[in-house]
Chains A and B, each alone.
Chain A
Amino acid sequence: MAVELSHYLLLSAVLFGIGTLGVLTRKNLIIILMSVELMLNAVNLTFISLARHAADQEAQVIVFFVLCVAAAEVAVGLAILISIWRKRGTMNVDALSALRG
């Protein structure tokens, strides 16, 4: 069986779904950040396979932009995680309940 575009699209949809579930169900903040990264990379896979299918370079360039943005986001995210750790001493999302109303 040849690997076709639809297989790649299905794989990236599944990866995106796993990432979404990870964000919604996991309690550890680092795993949540990793899940967000998984979602972004699933999108990258979609772009790459579409680009290859259409022999179009535009989508390949898009992936570079997305990678840069994701890297910047992780850098800021980890910095914020460190200040949470210093402030609360935990990585559990349930501890983040100071703001309510």
Chain B
Amino acid sequence: MNLNDVMGVLPELIVILTALIAIIVDVAARERNASASQGVTVLGLLVAGVVAIASPAETAMLMSGQVFNDGFASWFRALFCAIGAMTAVFSLVYLKHRNIRLGEYYSLLAMCVFGMMVMGSAANLLLFFVGLETMSISLYVLVGLRRDDSGSVEGSLKYLVLGAFSSAFLLYGMALIYGGIGSLEYVVIGDALRDSTGIGPMTVTGIGLLLVGFAFKISAVPFHFWSPDVYEGAPTTITAFMSTGAKAAAFVGLIRVFGIALAETNEHWVGVLTVLSIVTMTLGNVSALRQTSVKRMLAYSSIAHAGYLLVGIVAGSKAAFAASGFYLIGYALMNLGAFGVLILLNQRGKGDYSIDSLRGMGTVHPVLGLTMAIFMLSLIGIPPTAGFFGKLFVFSAAIERGHLLLAIIGLLNSAVAAYYYLRVISTMYMAKPEGDVAITEPMGYKVALVISSILIIVLGMFPDQLVAALLKAVP
């Protein structure tokens, strides 16, 4: 390991350092300043994100071929840092109103971001697994943070059991691939598959088990049953974080492992992924239709979005991966934003997040109403928003590769989804507000919401630049 290696993983190092400093600052300054460790975390993650984007990806591999340092890794490192920073911004209000006084919160959040960054830049299945577990174990704790709330504890336990269960499948798949090919490095696996004429039964079984593990992690139907419960039970800030960050990290892994390293064997799994994609988006949307809690509705909607994203993996071209990257960035902005508004509006409620709790909020709180409307329109995929172009790029990449049916089903699903997203907007603007609607709106929080809604519109007006940059970065 030389200096070049250390400089290459500088963003990761900054995030780890942030996690350590956050917990020390909390111990030292909690009595005087409750937001000190939040400030440290936001600052540290932003710095790491800027470093990730600014540092030139000169060498493609670091640490003797264990870590990717390509443009794709940089983009996702920055995305994970941004998601973490935004979650930290949303957290202060939430924690204060729920009376959660836990110093390790921000530290664990930064650890999670670190795990995601490792997942995004790992060039070795083992390293990917370690990153995944770093993220997951921190998330188990974060989900169960409200120990006085039985839903939170229950969600945490379900997440732990199903998470560990699926990790075992993932790991067994890795072991069998190691047995069949003799290495866990993506590049070596890719080369070995390209050179060999056929693959043995051990490798095929390994790929199958790996696919099951990944399907659990991205909560694809029929491996999704844990996720609505976990998303509902978790503290809402963590729900927002998981549905964007953890999902994006799993998808980067899926792109690197299935999209690139195992691309040669795609006749074995493209069919399965196509079916998974169709079932996932359809069932996610249909279940979201009948939810009365907005939080749970967004949980199902995030399952549906995983289905759209799978279309990009099925298409399997460079353009499709760039499109998936664009989709993930846009989705992170709009979903985090939607949860952000929800947290602010429900700060004094009993935390039920029912659709009725949003009645008339659009007219009472114009900024929140407008930003929420933008987030919802983008989630539907109405131009000119990032959500529209994310879907457009992914579906057109699929059509280019001959998956016309998949794209049509995706479009039909988007139309179904419009109903439940529009219901949120109409409740916010058409209904009369009830009871006491006063809320505190911290400045930094509002700024974060406004910035992300502006970014969504900007990405919707000028999508080409980002897509071109991502296309250049795709390995």
Question: What is the interface of chain A, defined by CB distance below 8 A to chain B?
Answer: 9, 16, 19-20, 23, 29, 32-33, 36, 39-40, 42-43, 46-47, 50, 54, 56, 58-59, 62, 65-66, 69, 72-73, 76-77, 79-81, 83-84, 87-88, 96, 98-101
B82-101 interface code vs A (CB 8 A; 1 in, 0 out): 00000000000000000000
Q: With an 8 A cutoff between CB atoms, is B388 at the interface?
A: no
- Residues of chain B within 8 A (CB-CB) of A32 are 161
24 A-B interface contacts by CB (under 8 A): A19-B168, A33-B164, A36-B161, A39-B165, A46-B172, A46-B176, A46-B179, A50-B178, A56-B182, A58-B183, A62-B126, A65-B130, A69-B129, A69-B137, A73-B160, A73-B164, A77-B161, A84-B153, A87-B147, A87-B150, A98-B150, A99-B229, A100-B229, A101-B232
Q: Are A16 and B168 in contact (CB under 8 A)?
A: yes
Q: How many residues of chain B are within 8 Å of chain A by beta carbon?
A: 39
Whether A73 contacts B178 in the complex (CB less than 8 A), given A36-B165, A66-B171, comes out as no
B137/A73 in contact, CB under 8 A: yes
Of B161, B171, B182, chain A has the most CB atoms within 10 Å of the CB of B171
Q: Are B168 and A43 in contact (CB under 8 A)?
A: yes
Looking at chain B's contact residues, the main secondary structure is helix
Question: What separation, in Å, do the CA atoms of A16 and B165 have in the docked complex?
Answer: 11
Question: Contact at A62–B184, with CB atoms within 8 Å?
Answer: yes
Interface residues in chain B, defined as those with a beta carbon under 8 Å from any beta carbon in chain A: 126, 129-130, 133, 137, 140-141, 144, 147, 150-151, 153-158, 160-161, 164-165, 167-168, 171-172, 175-176, 178-179, 182-184, 228-229, 232-233, 291, 293, 296
**With a CB–CB cut-off of 8 A, which chain A residues contact B126?**
62, 65
By the criterion CB–CB under 8 Å, are B133 and A72 in contact? yes
Nearest CB in chain A to that of B185: its residue: A58
- Which residues of B sit under 8 angstroms from A80, Cβ to Cβ? 140, 144, 153, 156-157, 160
Q: A96-B154, A99-B233 are in contact. Are A76 and B147 (CB under 8 A)?
A: no
Known: A87-B147, A99-B229, A101-B296. 4 other contacts (CB 8 A): A39-B172, A73-B137, A73-B160, A80-B140
